Structure 1
Amino acid sequence: MDKILLAICNGLSCFIICTILFQFMNERYKKSYSNKTLYIAAEIAMGITAFGINMLNFAILNLLIWFVGVGVTVYFLYYEDADRPIRRITECEVLVLCMSVCETLGVLLLHCFLQICGISNIDVVMQYCLEVTFSKLIMIFLYYVLINRLIKRTEAACSREQYIIYGILFFYSLVNMLVIVQNFRDGQKSYLSAVNMGCIVLADLYLLYYVKMADEKRYYENRVKALEQQAKMQYEYYLAQTEKYSQTVRILHDVDKHIRAIENLYGTEREHTAGEYAEAIRSTLAPLIPISYTENPILNILLTDKNAVMQEKGIHSDIKIDNVDLSYIEPIDITTIFGNLLDNAIEAAANADGDKYIFIKISAYHKMTVVHIENSCGKVKWKKRMPVSDKGKGRGIGLLNVKQSIDKYDGDLQLKQDGNRFVADLFLNS
């Protein structure tokens, strides 16, 4: 029975370490392959290998297998947009080292508690179970409360309620562990108590993960609501611009008639001067007239508005739009998608060195609308696989809202940087 219990303890230890390591890698890096089974198999293989080495009871060899296993896994199965394999490997190896230190700290704290409580002569197997479970308990809490917050790649801050829940869980688990320890006084054995300790650790592992994910989910839901409000305000603005431009076109239509009348009134000897005068008036009025890029009035006004901003910032623009039917896209989604993508492109191009340009192409492919936006850029920062602005935390990039609009049309958005060129390819299913 003792050997079975030792095997269970070692298995529990390897399972918890594997779970935390793969949680970390899955949240921090991109997966190189889409096959989920491959990653499950990799986690199982690492756990079984570590379990086998652990049963040999060689501490140095056990630590070495974790270093090698993690290094190989993060190198071949994960990547980043600005791929730096050495940095990835280093981050994961540091995490393994931190977890090892946490385990050692847990064992030291356990012995201190036992000494303070005057508990001695504990059976060797029971003491090993205590060391494994108590050290994993300390490691889990330190990872979620401290380590994960320091190395996280999310803007979601840890709320006060989350810290309170962590504190309650830790205190509850600690009290339960100390109560169970009383059953091991004077060399007594209690296999059921040992199993109970393992269950406490497993429960804490999943409860802490659930609390963390629930807090991040609430944060992103609030952020999406704010972005939806922003999109609604943008839509209402462009709706107002549509009415304004409609009135302007009617007025300018009559003005154009007057200009033509003036041209006809000039004598033949003044024809060149009259033409120049009329052309100057047309040039002055031209910015007030939205260019008819498509049959979609909202998109026409949006592109006209953004094109004027590009000219002000010295950005060369090239807009090519085929005969594409965009009537299936709701006006608010037109504003959300193109408004945010073009704002990002303008921001990046304006801060780029050398030639500043933005190229926009909208075309149709079978039943899909394909949007290609390319712009010059400088160095782009990435977080959670998305580019972020230098304007400050949570500002400048409305891509969460863009993705939400794209999802309505079973679409996809692909972002990439190639040197000083940034490309956004958008696919919408009509």
Structure 2
Amino acid sequence: MDDLFERKYTRRVYVLAWLLFVAIAIVFNFTGIAILKSIYGIVSACILGLLLFKAQNKRRIVGAGVFFFLYLFIIDTLSVLFFTIFSGKTIEMVRSNVVLLFVCGLGNQIMLLCFYKPIVALMKKHKFDIITFQQNLFLIILALFEAALLIYIMSFIDKTSSGVMLTMMITGFLGLDTYLIYLFETISQKYELEREIDLKKQQEEMQNSYYHSIETQYDHSRRLIHDIKNHMQTLEEIYSEGSNIEAKQYAKTILESMDTFSGRFKCKNRVLTIIINDKILKCDDQSIRIDTQVEDLNFDFIDPFDMTTIFSNLLDNAIEACSKVSIERREIDLKIYKFNEFITISVRNYYDGKLVWDKDSLVSTKGGKHMGLGLKNVKSAVEKYEGTMQRKSDGEHFEVKILMSPESRTDI
């Protein structure tokens, strides 16, 4: 586990955990019930991994724990079986003789050490995190079933046979387990690819929508510029007639029209400018105040599709939540600033209702999981750049905060 994951505590904690693990294992060993020892082995491997180590996805730790148990169980069984095959002894003779068991134990440790490095390399390469919780649970049950079946069969043949039959069964189980893990990973990769394709389609639709919005604004601006000569002549005539108040009101109307089409937000990043101006117009339609405290930072390290995913989903969720509260509480705070070497993005808004969580996903209170899907897409986009996303609520405000470093992009 230490070679696969990052430690949470100091070395002393791990020594104490190992001693506790061994002490409990001895207690289970005294019971003489083999299946109980197997259950303890697989459960303790998973629990200790989750408690003592940290990983980006806990499924990796559970998957590694199951794989680790199968590795120990198979090596332990094979060490006894190989000895019975080469010595001509029966399994019962080996199990009842302390000296023979000691020799098997030495063989067991030698085999564990010989295969340790290849096993760790394989586990590092294997993508346990894309295997679902249900698939991991199935592998745990399968591992326990295989252990129970082998123990049961062993009780019938250990008096009359060497370990040839059991060795063949162990080899078959090992092949089956390896194939199932490979199959689950392939299925999970297929679903992951389908999800990415759907996400790309969603991003393309949003981009096309924004480009269409810009074209519409450009057409309106061109028409306004075309008419500006007429407007100036009218304004001059109003002034010449001495109607200063009416002239000021007419000038104000012209300026407001120009502001509407020119956009109220500007920054270096063209895509971010498009998105925020589009959301500002949506906020105007629903009487939502949006406060944009945005530093003009360089977002070139983020792909335009990911920019769309992050900011569109966050602001759309905030607009949806604000539209359900009273007008005086319709307010969104968007902050983008640099703190040390990190770019911080914060979207904070009022909300009315109960937040419903489904594991890691926020579920809309009006049913379905479309809000949760949006946040999942945001999290997926942020993690491409080794960023983190935090969500918190105080019963009145809901806030999503993102931290990303421009230096830590992960190329996919």
Same fold (TM over 0.5): yes
Change (3 A) 1:402 1:182: closer
Q: Secondary structure at the match of 2:31?
A: coil
**Aligned partner letter, 1:245:** Q
Change (3 A) 1:367 1:262: farther
Q: Secondary structure at the match of 2:347?
A: strand
Confirm or deny: 8 A CA contact 1:319 1:360 kept in the other structure: yes
Work out whether 1:423 is the aligned partner of 2:382.
Answer: no
**Aligned partner letter, 1:252:** L
Q: Secondary structure at the match of 2:265?
A: coil
Confirm or deny: 8 A CA contact 1:123 1:189 kept in the other structure: no
Confirm or deny: 8 A CA contact 1:389 1:397 kept in the other structure: no
Given candidates 28, 50, 69, the residue that maps to 1:54 is 28
Other-structure match for 2:188: 216
Other-structure match for 1:293: 266
Superposed displacement of residue 412, structure 1: 0.8
Confirm or deny: 8 A CA contact 1:183 1:189 kept in the other structure: no
Superposed displacement of residue 362, structure 1: 1.8
Partners in 2 of 1:383 and 1:45 — Cα distance? 37
Partners in 2 of 1:229 and 1:40 — Cα distance? 47
Change (3 A) 1:330 1:223: closer
1:144-183 correspondence runs (5 A): 181=153
Partners in 2 of 1:53 and 1:394 — Cα distance? 50
Partners in 2 of 1:155 and 1:206 — Cα distance? 14
Given candidates 216, 221, 224, the residue that maps to 1:249 is 221
Other-structure match for 2:309: 336
Given candidates 338, 344, 356, the residue that maps to 2:330 is 356
Partners in 2 of 1:197 and 1:38 — Cα distance? 41
Q: Percent identity?
A: 22
Work out whether 1:326 is the aligned partner of 2:326.
Answer: no
Other-structure match for 1:381: 356
1:14-29 correspondence runs (5 A): none
Where structure 2 has 5 or more consecutive residues not aligned to the other structure, the ranges are 55-90, 96-128, 408-412
Change (3 A) 1:217 1:248: same
Partners in 2 of 1:367 and 1:37 — Cα distance? 31
Confirm or deny: 8 A CA contact 2:310 2:381 kept in the other structure: yes
Change (3 A) 1:402 1:262: same
Partners in 1 of 2:23 and 2:174 — Cα distance? 21
Other-structure match for 1:414: 389
Could you tell me the TM-score, scaled by structure 2's length? 0.58
Change (3 A) 1:155 1:51: closer
**Aligned partner letter, 1:381:** V
Partners in 2 of 1:58 and 1:183 — Cα distance? 13
Given candidates 343, 349, 374, the residue that maps to 1:398 is 374
Other-structure match for 1:98: none
Could you tell me the TM-score, scaled by structure 1's length? 0.56
Superposed displacement of residue 270, structure 1: 2.0
Given candidates 285, 305, 309, the residue that maps to 2:278 is 305
Superposed displacement of residue 198, structure 1: 5.1
Confirm or deny: 8 A CA contact 1:380 1:388 kept in the other structure: yes
Other-structure match for 1:369: 343
Superposed displacement of residue 427, structure 1: 2.0
Partners in 2 of 1:42 and 1:241 — Cα distance? 63
Partners in 1 of 2:16 and 2:213 — Cα distance? 56
**Aligned partner letter, 1:415:** Q
Change (3 A) 1:310 1:275: same
Q: Deviations over 1:124-160 (max 9, x none)?
A: 999xxxxxxxxxxxxxxxxxxxxxxxxxx9997989x
**Aligned partner letter, 2:235:** E
Q: Secondary structure at the match of 2:390?
A: strand
Q: Deviations over 1:18-52 (max 9, x none)?
A: x9xxxxxxxxxxx9965799999798666534421
The count of residues paired between Structure 1 and Structure 2 equals 320
- Please report the RMSD computed on the Cα atoms of aligned residues, expressed in angstroms: 5.1
Partners in 2 of 1:155 and 1:36 — Cα distance? 30
**Aligned partner letter, 2:332:** I
Other-structure match for 2:208: 236
Change (3 A) 1:215 1:386: same
